[in-house]
Chain A
Amino acid sequence: MTEFASLFHGFAVVLSPFNLVLMMVGIVLGVIIGVLPGLGGANGVAILLPLTFSMPPTSAIILLSCIYWGALFGGAITSVLFNIPGEPWSVATTFDGYPMAQQGRAGEALTAAFTSSFVGAFFAVLMITFLAPLVARFALKFGPPEFFAVYLLTFCSFVGMGKGSPMKILASMMLGFALAAVGMDTVTGQLRLTFGIPDLMRGFDFLIAVIGLFGIGEILLSMEEGLNFSGKAARIDTKVVLQTWKKLPAYWITSLRSTLIGIWMGITPGGATPASFMSYGMAKKMSPRGAQFGKGEIEGVIAPETAAHAAGTSALLPMLALGIPGSPTAAVLLGGLLIWGLQPGPLLFVEQKDFVWGLIASMYLGNIAGLIVVLTSVPLFAAILRVPFAIIAPVIIAICAIGAYTVHNAMLDVWLMLGFGVIGYVFKKLDYPLAPLVLAVVLGDRAEDSFRQSMLLSQGSLTILWSNWLVGSITTLALVLLVWPFLARGVQLIKAQMLRAEARAAASADRR
Chain B
Amino acid sequence: MQSDDAGSTPHEPGVSTRTVELATALLLFALGALVAISSWRLGARWQDDGPGSGYFPFYIALLICVSSAVVAVRAFRSGADGEVFVTLAQLRLVMTVLLPSLGFVLVTQFLGLYVGSFLFIAGFMVWVGHYGWARSVGIGFAVAALSFLMFEVWFKVPLFKGTLDPLSFLGY
Contacts and interface: CB of A to CB of B under 8 A. Distances in A.
Interface of A: 50-51, 53-54, 164-165, 167-168, 170-171, 174-175, 177-178, 181, 185, 187-188, 190, 192-193, 195, 216, 219-220, 223-226, 388, 390-391, 393-395, 397-399, 401-402, 405-406, 409, 411, 414-415, 418, 421-422, 425-427, 429-432, 448, 451-452, 455-456, 460
Contacts of A224: 7, 86, 90, 93-94
Interface of B: 1-2, 7, 17, 20-21, 24-25, 28, 31-32, 35, 38-39, 42, 46, 50-57, 60-61, 63-64, 67-68, 70-71, 74, 85-86, 90, 93-94, 96-98, 100-102, 104-105, 108-109, 113, 116-117, 120-121, 124-125, 128-131, 139, 143, 147, 150-151, 155-160
A156 to B, nearest CB: 12
A401 B56 contact: no
Contact of B53 (A164, A187, A401, A427): A187
A422 B98 contact: yes
Contacts of B117: 394, 398, 401-402
Nearest to B101: A397
Contacts of A398: 104, 113, 116-117, 120-121, 143, 147
B155 A51 contact: yes
Nearest to A168: B71
A174 to B, nearest CB: 5
Nearest to A224: B90
A411 B160 contact: yes
Given A177-B56, A398-B147, A422-B98, 20 more contacts: A53-B157, A54-B155, A167-B67, A168-B67, A170-B67, A174-B67, A175-B28, A175-B31, A178-B60, A181-B56, A181-B57, A219-B97, A220-B97, A225-B7, A391-B125, A394-B121, A402-B159, A409-B158, A452-B56, A455-B50
A16 B3 CA distance: 51
Contact of B20 (A54, A388, A430): A430
Contacts, number: 179
A263 B168 CA distance: 52
Q: Is the interface of A mostly helix, strand, loop or mixed?
A: helix
Most buried by B among A171, A225, A401, A421: A171
Contacts of B156: 54
Contact of B160 (A187, A219, A409, A451): A409
Nearest to A451: B56
